[in-house]
Amino acid sequence: MSHYEKCNEDMVRRTRIVGDNIKLNDKSDPVNHPSHYNKHPSGIECKDIIEHFSYHLGCAVKYVWRCDDKGKPIEDLQKAIQSIQFEIDMRQRGK
């Protein structure tokens, strides 16, 4: 099974069909599946996207993805910029 098939399978497992509408399960697990993790309109969790990036780029995507969900959007966007700078610095050092 490819990674994308597994992600799709995970997404199906986290959803339930109500009439003609697909809704995300409203069960929240504060450790494994906090409610703010799937606030994106697509219902996709950020972790399913960032696992395809390097550590620093994944952090940048995470900060941008959730910047409006935690109450400090400017701070999160600044953290995203810093994470990108870490990635640039690392690549310039040849790592």
What CA–CA distances, in Å, run from 51 to 1, 3, 20, 25, 46?
A: 17, 10, 31, 23, 9
The more confident residue out of 41 and 78 is 78
- Residue 15 pLDDT greater than 60, yes or no: no
Look at residue 18 and tell me whether its pLDDT is greater than 50: no
Which helix (H) or strand (E) segment holds residue 76: the answer is helix 73-92
For residues 85 and 41, the model is more confident at 85
pLDDT exceeds cutoff 80 at 62: yes
Average model confidence (pLDDT) across the chain: 77
For residue 42, the Cα-to-chain-centroid distance in whole angstroms is 11
Q: What is the mean pLDDT of residues 23-38?
A: 65
